[in-house]
Structure 1
């Protein structure tokens, strides 16, 4: 593979931090590394081919570098890793695999091709990572209703992995924070039912109703969400 000048071991470490690569950190860009590159690019709307150019590399750096420039690979919250493993799955094209994953926590809303499933994805990722985490504060609350995540866990700031329930005409949306724009007016979140798939997308920061952190995961693991360049980004307005 040819393309942008990068260190292959660094590439593998960054892809592993996102839950996309599970092979050896050996600097050999083989089938596993190439598959991880394709998954990364597919989840970000880039042409899904095993090629690293400047756009891909800059996106990857933004996903795995903190505001201090330090690698955040050791700080990737486990629920983001869970979503990273299935990023790119589409509700129609990959219905079987997506449905199986949504059921893997022992609960499911139903067919993602027929129902709004962002809450199902958030619950599945959280419970696979933290099986004892109470995803809603009361049994009367439905975790599949995105706005109920306003009562999830405990308040936090704009930290990597924070649950972000959002406003939306006619309902809401729930996803997890992975980045903040340079001007602070946009946030990048990973979640389900974003362009009908598990993906990363930009949102107007004003849509965030709150930022929440799980009660069963240490606050000491909180890290500021990476600062990213959102120039030219299209903000999601109506998830689906």
Structure 2
């Protein structure tokens, strides 16, 4: 079903620019009725009427395929993003001044805030996903920026010093209190995450922000 589902989702892309992707369980291990996590992007905000049509189309897609709909985060918040929002997410705008990285479960205002949207965008681009349609060059540029951001986030959480790569990955997988997956930062695929962090760290090394010696990173927080 996934191929037909992805084709139908791609056809809903509302902008001439930008791109669309599917992430979450349908990009890795789909369950028959699980909701389909989609992200559509463009250079400019969508007018309210076009966003409403996109949301209606996505809801019909779910109904036609017998999928559950998850609106804990509203479609108006999570379904469409501008290039500026994605760039802000890659710069860790969703984590400015943050010391508590737990997902604000049960807090609708926090879950539908611009800050949490930035967290979702970073997660969508750094977890397993499927490119559906659109501007592949912008997509690849955003993935590179997001991987750099995820690596920097791991370093911020672990703190300055000599950090094994495995420890950096663990910092994104589990909080000190034991929160994981959707209750923390949304990461669950450790092998994929190691690859994401490795690529992101290489970019930071090219910028002179870290030194990498085999599987150990040296970082001095600035």
| TM-score above 0.5, yes or no | no
TM (norm. structure 1) is: 0.28
State the TM-score, normalized to the length of structure 2. 0.29
Going by fraction, where is helix more abundant, 1 or 2?
2
Higher normalized contact order (CA 8 Å, seq sep 6+, divided by chain length): 2
